[in-house]
């Protein structure tokens, strides 16, 4: 059955939550809580786990597979299997294999949202979950990154606000083509997901290192305003759990 034949109207819920003290660990806890014991789990973009290991997920998964276009995936010691492939290529040979797939700071690098979300749907079993942590495009940090990426200035700017040697080690070109509630929902619906839950939050210290010294106070002012207004679209980080239709 093709992905397109499963299309249905997606049910979307959105919540603003308090900023987690340790964002990646917090998200990994949500993934672990959503993972049945003995499940097969896919770490999308698991190239050497630049954001750290995921012990809670590892304890619940009978099988943990990492896929990443980068050769760094071979350094992922947590995974049972490692594949140096884009998700779109990997999905062709591994359809319906996983109960859960998750991605940490991957969505902002996706150049083909249709191909990516269809691949995420293809690797899952019916009723499986795809979960992600990424940057919200409509936050000032996301908007700035989106604009500089379109102008080809993202790496130039990053090297002026961060250590150039560090930039060379971790920076991957960003796209910001599927980084808002609306765009994520639309592409997930197209791929055959039946429901998606968003959890949005803002944490000033995550963005301050990228701001000029005289503007670091902006992060706190923005965050307080976003929470006072209760506006999900103003939050800096976007997380979601999408469930594939039967």
Instruction: Please check the confidence at residue 142 and state whether its pLDDT lies above 90.
Output: no
Residue 4 is assigned to a structural domain of this protein:
no
Cβ-count burial of 37 within 10 angstroms (0-12 exposed, 13-18 middle, 19+ buried)? exposed
Residue 233 is assigned to a structural domain of this protein:
yes
Number of structural domains, the chain?
1
Q: Which domain holds residue 117?
A: 11-244
Residue 1 is assigned to a structural domain of this protein:
no
- Per-residue HEC secondary structure of 4-45 comes to HHHCCCCEEEEEECCCCCCHHHHHHHHHHHCCCCCEEEEEEC
Contacts by 213-222 with C-beta closer than 8 Å and gap 24+? 218/140, 222/139, 222/140
Residue 2 is assigned to a structural domain of this protein:
no
**Ranges 87-91, 180-184, 218-222: which has the least confidence:** 218-222
Task: Tell me what pLDDT residue 169 has.
Answer: 46
The CATH number of the domain holding residue 64 is: 3.40.50.150
Task: Tell me what pLDDT residue 155 has.
Answer: 58
Q: Which of 78-92, 166-180, 204-218 has the highest mean pLDDT?
A: 78-92
Residue 3 is assigned to a structural domain of this protein:
no
Q: pLDDT higher for 150 or 54?
A: 54
Task: Tell me what pLDDT residue 59 has.
Answer: 96
Residue 6 is assigned to a structural domain of this protein:
no
- Decide: pTM greater than 0.85: yes
Q: Which residues pair with 194 in a beta bridge?
A: none
Residue 114 is assigned to a structural domain of this protein:
yes
Task: Tell me what pLDDT residue 38 has.
Answer: 97
């Amino acid at each position: 059955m093709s992905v397109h034949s499963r299309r249905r109207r997606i049910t979307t819920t959105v919540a603003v939550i308090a900023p987690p003290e340790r964002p990646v660990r917090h998200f990994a806890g949500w993934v672990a809580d959503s993972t049945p014991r003995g499940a097969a789990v896919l770490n999308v973009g698991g190239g050497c786990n630049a954001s750290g290991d995921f012990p809670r997920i590892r304890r619940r998964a009978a099988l943990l597979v990492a896929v990443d276009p980068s050769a760094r995936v071979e350094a992922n010691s947590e995974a049972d299997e490692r594949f140096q492939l884009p998700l779109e290529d990997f999905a062709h040979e591994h359809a319906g294999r996983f109960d859960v797939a998750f991605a940490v700071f991957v969505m902002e690098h996706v150049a083909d949202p249709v191909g990516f979300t269809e691949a995420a749907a293809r690797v899952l079993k019916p009723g499986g979950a795809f979960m992600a942590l990424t940057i919200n495009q409509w936050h000032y940090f996301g908007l700035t990154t989106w604009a500089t990426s379109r102008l080809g200035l993202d790496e130039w700017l990053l090297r002026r606000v961060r250590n150039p040697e560090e930039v060379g080690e971790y920076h991957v070109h960003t796209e910001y083509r599927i980084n808002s509630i609306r765009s994520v929902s639309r592409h997930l619906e197209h791929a055959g997901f039946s429901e998606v839950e968003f959890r949005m939050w803002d944490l000033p210290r995550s963005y301050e290192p990228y701001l000029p010294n005289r503007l670091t106070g902006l992060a706190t002012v923005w965050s307080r305003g976003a929470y006072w207004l209760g506006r999900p679209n103003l939050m800096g980080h976007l997380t979601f759990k999408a469930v594939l239709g039967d």
